[in-house]
Chain A
Amino acid sequence: MENTNVKTNTVSAQKKYKKRTPMGEVWHRLRKNKGAMVGGAFVLLLVFLALFRDVIYDYDTQIVMQDLSKRFIHPCLEHPFGTDNLGRDLFARVVYGTGSSLPVGVVAVMVALVLGLPLGAIAGFFGGKIDDVIMRIMDIFAAVPGILMAIAMVAVLGTGTIGLMISIGVTAVPAFARITRASVLSVRNQEFVEAARAIGCTNLDIIFKHVIPNCLSPIVVQVSLRIGNSIITASSMSYLGLGVTPPMPEWGNLLSAGRTYIKDYSYLTMFPGLVIMLTVIAFNLLGDGLRDAMDPKLKK
């Protein structure tokens, strides 16, 4: 099909400017952003720890086994974060806790995405009555403050990881629906949508194969920023005793356990909080970097 002339032209162009795929272009710009790269590396490390926590540590002997002869050892070389009131190594528990905190944050955002993205896309694409109904329902969900909604849902779903993931996810649905809707509105009247309709694509095909792929960049950014937030909410809930319950370590419940001994052993509250903060910073830096890389117009 391709004209040979055009082909030679492209080849000569390739010599001057390296041609990149859209994703390659984003990656190229992202790579120049130091903050995003450091954040991304930290996120990768966390994912690795979360996936292989049971290879690194043995749950029964290294995470939950009590050894009262070793209680309250201040941070030292052998125990970088010290030991808790039951003689368990806090560093091991924080590292193992990555596997509780990170999945909750990630899955919660996935729940929000799976519900919010189609709702927002349908509302934005069809407009009119459908849009009104969907967005008013989203308004109702958004009117209940996030953490209160999550607390109420946990009362129904029960505490524990699954309940936590769904509860936190549902609270973020309106945000994803709104962002998707706004970005669908900006592309739905463009020519390629009309072209897809002209060749006989069904509405569903148009939405999922043509419209959504062209609206992804604000959504990807939102995902990265939201994961950090969800991790904070999840650890808050665990801190309140409404999330992951001991003896399974989770960053929030480690903090809550340290609260009792805050007077004499403040290191017990220091480290888990520091790790939560670094994690959220990492996701935020990555999200900010992605936003700048995907939409250079927005960059200040």
Chain B
Amino acid sequence: MHRYILKRIAMLLLVMLGVSLLIFFIMDLAPGDQALMILGEAATEEELNALREELGLFDPFFVRYGRYMWGFLQGDLGYSHKYLSDVLPLYLERLGATVVLALASALFAHILSIPMGIYAALHQGKVSDNIVSALAIVGLAAPNFWVGLLLIILFSLKLGMFHSGGFVTLSDVVLPAITVGTANMALLTRTTRSGMIDVLRSDYLMLARAKGVSEKMVVRKHALKNALIPIITVSGIQFSAMMGGAVTTEAVFSFPGIGTLLVGAIKSKDTVCVTGCLILTSLLVSVTLLAVDILYAYVDPRIKAQYSK
């Protein structure tokens, strides 16, 4: 097991090295002149060239990449001229809001989807099952920025229950969380339903029933535990994806997370900030995914047995 974890971590580091190179390369091609950003439009060509020389912008690609990564490993991700701050503290500051949003939307998605999925599985083929399935289809197809706008119309403009944007009090996270959570909830409902249906057909449940275990206990103790495995996989993937910030949802609610940070930086051609944000986000998403994978092996003895071979 430990060897497996070490192998996965080594692989992750290798992939991240590739990711940093890829992102650095893409952003190197992107328009955006650091010297121009620092000195402003009024600077003369000589001044600009002098600064470019000083910043080492004329060095070959791999020299610049090496220098960037050397700084990165020491926690220096450069300075953002759009936000007038070092990139790392800026990122960490926004990360808080993104994590709160991710947790809140995961909470919303799970509270609703798991009972709905179980209910649908137990009433397979009936009207209630069809309604749940139809809701899941709609939830998966609704673009989340539209869901966000509809929520704003209903809850903040018509009912006046929540603010339509910003992140001042904790209640401001409710609407964005529902927005991000809708599609996740739909997918989780589907996963729960099909997972439960698979388990309900299995032989060991028939055995449990034959022994005289009540149907309630069969569902709660025997079926749900095993149906949880695909659910954990899906929620792990969803949670790791949310660590990357919900770009469109954050834009709709002007939510100060990583998504809005990145979009702002892209629009003002702040390549230093974009590069740092993208590498950190990819790292965070990959690490979360790996953590879930490892956790998952601990939860399910069958998977653990596979890896320790």
Hey, which bits of chain A sit against chain B, CB under 8 A? 136-137, 139-141, 143-145, 147-148, 151-156, 228, 232, 235-236, 239-242, 252, 255, 258-259, 262-263, 266, 269-270, 272-273, 276-278, 280-281, 284-285, 300
Contact call B149/A143, Cβ cutoff below 8 A? no
B292 at the interface (CB under 8 A from A): no
Subset of 29 A-B contacts with CB under 8 Å: A136-B15, A140-B15, A140-B19, A140-B22, A143-B282, A143-B286, A144-B22, A144-B281, A144-B282, A145-B244, A152-B23, A152-B30, A152-B274, A152-B278, A155-B26, A155-B30, A155-B266, A156-B31, A232-B143, A236-B143, A239-B251, A255-B145, A259-B252, A262-B149, A262-B157, A269-B150, A277-B143, A280-B140, A300-B197
Interface flags for B158-196 (1: CB within 8 Å of A; 0: not) read 000000000000000000000000000000000000100
Partner of B263, one of A151, A156, A235: A151
Indicate if B232 sits at the interface (CB-CB under 8 A): no
Query: Which interface residue of B26, B29, B152, B267 has the most chain A CB atoms within 10 A?
Result: B26
Distance between A251 CB and nearest chain B CB, rounded to angstroms: 9
In the complex, A259→B18 CA distance in Å? 39
Q: In the complex, A235 Cα to B252 Cα: how many Å? A: 13
Cβ–Cβ < 8 Å partners of A272 in chain B: 146
Cα distance, A242 to B30, chains bound together (Å): 14
B305 contacts chain A at the CB level, 8 A cutoff:
no
A151 to B27, CA, bound (A): 11
Interface string of B233-268 (1 = CB under 8 A from A): 000000001001001100110000000001100110
Contact B149 A255 (CB under 8 A): yes
Nearest-Cβ distance from residue A245 to partner chain B, whole angstroms: 13
B interface: dominant SS: helix
| B145 and A239 within 8 A (CB) | yes
**Contact among B16, B144, B247 for A143, CB-based, below 8 A:** B16
Quick check: is B14 within 8 A (CB to CB) of the other chain? yes
Cross-interface CB contact of A284 among B30, B137, B144, cutoff 8 Å: B137
**With A and B bound together, what is the CA distance between A278 and B143 in angstroms?**
10
Smallest Cβ-Cβ distance to B193: which chain A residue: A300
A252–B144 CA distance with the chains assembled, in angstroms: 11
Q: Is B153 an interface residue (CB 8 A)?
A: yes
Structural contact, A155 and B274, CB atoms closer than 8 A: yes
B194:A148 contact, CB within 8 angstroms: no
A148-B279 Cα distance, complex, nearest whole Å: 10
Given contacts A136-B15, A239-B145, 15 further A-B contacts (CB under 8 A): A136-B14, A137-B18, A143-B19, A144-B23, A145-B282, A145-B285, A148-B282, A152-B23, A155-B274, A236-B247, A258-B149, A262-B152, A262-B157, A269-B146, A280-B143
Which residues of the other chain, A, contact B138 by a CB distance below 8 angstroms? 277, 281
The docked-state distance in angstroms from the alpha carbon of A255 to that of B144 is 12
